[in-house]
Amino acid sequence: MKRAVLDEPGLIRWGRVIGESAAREAVFVALHGPLGAGKTCLTQAACAGVGVHETVTSPTYTLVHWYDGDRGTVAHADLYRIAHASELPALGWEELESHPGPVFVEWAERAGEELPPDRWEIRLDFAADGALRTVTAHALGDAPPIPDPGPCAAPAREASC
Ligand SMILES: Nc1ncnc2c1ncn2[C@@H]1O[C@H](COP(=O)(O)OP(=O)(O)O)[C@@H](O)[C@H]1O
Ligand SMILES: [Mg+2]
């Protein structure tokens, strides 16, 4: 289990690395954490890492967005609005699960047993300081090792979600 406390530029920096690595290895990424914790922010950074140039918006209402990037096609899903895993087939879960590229799913726990066994698990939580987030991350099954969330030696880049 990897753990770090990150400010927003730090989360964005790690997100880009996550995106590059997830694109290279076609990783399914399950994102957990309360509203406002930074799941969409992390996915936006990851999409930049996949080489997506268009604006990445929260799929809270549309459930799944697909983006073509320089390093692959990335899927971004948000299960906040599903009440039960039985709703998954209707939103194209099979396509997400079998996608030969990076997949990022917010509120992934709502998929329950339907989550693929080989995946990265990332949890974001509010830290005592409102500008910081606690990040815990680990790889499951045959998923490759997850990049370390830092602290990173590189200087923080000014960025915002
Ligand atoms: N350390 C941080 N990491 C990520 N987001 C942060 C951080 N500090 C503040 N924020 C803010 O928190 C919000 C996270 O929102 P969002 O990514 O939409 O959350 P979620 O998708 O988990 O509901 C953004 O407004 C972002 O600017
Ligand atoms: Mg979100």
Counted domains in the chain: 1
Residue 122 to residue 2: CA distance in whole angstroms: 9
Calpha distance 109→129 (Å, rounded): 26
The fraction of the chain above a pLDDT of 70, given in percent, is: 93
> Which residue range is the domain that position 66 belongs to?
2-140
pLDDT higher than threshold 90 for residue 11:
yes
Mean pLDDT of 14-31: 98
Does the beta carbon of 125 sit less than 6 angstroms from any atom of ligand 1?
no
| Angle of the 8-25 helix axis to the 39-50 helix axis, nearest 10 | 50
**Closest residue to atom 13 of ligand 1, CA basis:** 36
CB distance 7 to ligand 1 below 6 Å: yes
Ligand 1 binding pocket includes 33 (Cβ within 6 Å): yes
Residue 15 included in any domain: yes
Atom number of ligand 1 nearest to Cα 132:
1
Q: What pLDDT score does 158 carry? A: 47
User: Does position 119 have pLDDT exceeding 90, yes or no?
Assistant: yes
Q: Which residues surround ligand 2, an ion (CB under 5 A)?
A: 39-40, 58, 106
Q: What CATH number is attached to the domain comprising 73?
A: 3.40.50.300
Residue 154 lies in a domain: no
Cα 47 to ligand 2 centroid, rounded to whole Å:
14
Is residue 1 scored above 60 in pLDDT? yes
| pTM summary value | 0.94
158 belongs to a structural domain: no
Q: CB–CB of 161/12 below 8 Å?
A: yes
pLDDT for the residue numbered 155: 45
Is 153 inside any structural domain?
A: no
> In this predicted structure, what is the pLDDT of residue 62?
80
Taking the CA atoms of residue 105, residue 34, residue 137 and residue 155 in that order, the dihedral angle to the nearest 10 degrees is: 100
When pLDDT is cut at 50, 70 and 90, the band that residue 152 belongs to is very low
Read off the pLDDT of residues 37-94 as tens digits, 9 standing for 90 and up. 999 999 999 999 999 999 999 988 789 999 999 999 999 999 999 989 999 999 999 9
What is the reported pLDDT for 39? Answer: 98
Phi, psi of 66 (to 5 degrees): -115, 140
Q: What is the pLDDT of residue 97?
A: 95
Examine residue 25 and state whether it is found in any structural domain, yes or no. Answer: yes
